[in-house]
Amino acid sequence: MCALLLILLLSVDATAIETIPLDTLKRHLDAREIHYPLKDKIELRLDRNRRIIFTIFSPVVVVNQVAYRLPHPVVPTPGAINIPVAVVRVLATAVPEISGLASLSPPRTSPHKAIPPIVALEGSDPLEPLPTPDPDSLQALLAIDRIVIDAGHGGKDPGAIGHRGLKEKTITLAVACELERLIKRHEGLTAVMTRSRDRFISLGRRARLARETRGDVFVSLHCNASKRRGADGLEVYFLSEAKTEAAAAVAARENASIQFEDNADGYTIEEITGIRLSLLTSQFLKESQELAGSIRTSMTRAFDRMTDRGVKQANFHVMRGTMGSMPSVLVEMGFITNPKEAGRLKTSRHQKAMAKAIYEGILRFKQTHERQLESPGE
């Protein structure tokens, strides 16, 4: 399913509909261009009170706090972002003082009536942006407020089996539930769990749930394992090609969950692994690195006696379905095969401390991102 979605999005032919490049519109309006990559949004700011907000792969454009639905979505192509030419009619309606808009329309464009504003956004597709009329609506649209928590493995997939039979799936669920509790206590934050009990959830279904619930960040929780009993420490991953054999080995072990899947989601392993990573990671690579770094810093401060294995990159299937939609990281909370770390991981006290450290890392990332919203472009 995740492969099919990406193929459909990437196969959209921007030349099949009448569009104008965003750069052309920006130059004509003499506007300032501001990107909000965490929300797939681009703003053209004309002045302090007039702004136009586009959302990638959405037909909704917000002009001065009023939403209009274009006949086609905004579509990116290599080197350009293409806006449906119908935006000219929207601007003629919403910002009539702008002159020369007609010159932006291709000669073959036939005349149409002005596009009316959307009156009741609540009845719209839930995946479309829902701007509100208050002065802080842009910040509300772009804020990080929905955290998807993925407790690795579950059900028939035990994950790694550690010291004295300790199962990875048990630890990940316990920490995920505590992390959910902390997030829910924070005003304005919402937690979405890919699983809240001991059951098997396919990798594709986890990613789809994150997308369908419109998550703002995706955090997958795991425990590390090694044939070396002495291997220890914490590490956080983001999705990219593995740079070391050790990172590739971690990804291979976590990706082994696929062996438990019955293809109920309608995709094949070849479809998942065949999607070029560059198509999935380019948009949220920087944000995922920053999220991983923030969580790693928080964890190493809380557990200063544990080895800091750093932020790394590797090819995890569960993040292939989310990286095109939100910053995504995978947290390895310690080695379940190390007797000392396994002993700590199974205690409620350690699990709560681990959840708190991850929570604080997410919160720091959220605060940093939202400070940037207050002064974009600086």
Rounded to an integer, what distance in angstroms lies between the CA atom of residue 285 and that of residue 329? 10
- Asked if residue 220 has pLDDT above 50, the reply is yes
- Asked if residue 131 has pLDDT above 60, the reply is no
Domains 16-140 and 144-374 are alike in CATH topology: no
Domain definitions of the chain by residue range = 16-140, 144-374
Give the list of residues 6+ apart from residue 134 with CB closer than 8 angstroms, or none: 140
More confident residue, 204 or 131: 204
Q: Which residues pair with 148 in a beta bridge?
A: 192, 218
What CATH number does the domain located at 16-140 have? 3.30.457.10
Rounded to an integer, what distance in angstroms lies between the CA atom of residue 222 and that of residue 243? 20
Q: What percent of the chain has pLDDT over 90?
A: 33
pTM of model > 0.75: no
Q: What percent of the chain has pLDDT over 70?
A: 66
- Asked if residue 10 has pLDDT above 90, the reply is no
Please give the backbone phi and psi of residue 67, each rounded to the nearest 5 degrees, phi first: -95, 140
CATH superfamily of 144-374: Zn-dependent exopeptidases (3.40.630.40)
Q: What is the pLDDT of residues 239-255, one digit of tens each?
A: 755 445 555 555 555 55
More confident residue, 303 or 61: 303
Q: What is the pLDDT of residues 232-291, one digit of tens each?
A: 999 998 875 544 555 555 555 555 444 545 544 444 333 333 323 333 344 577 788 899
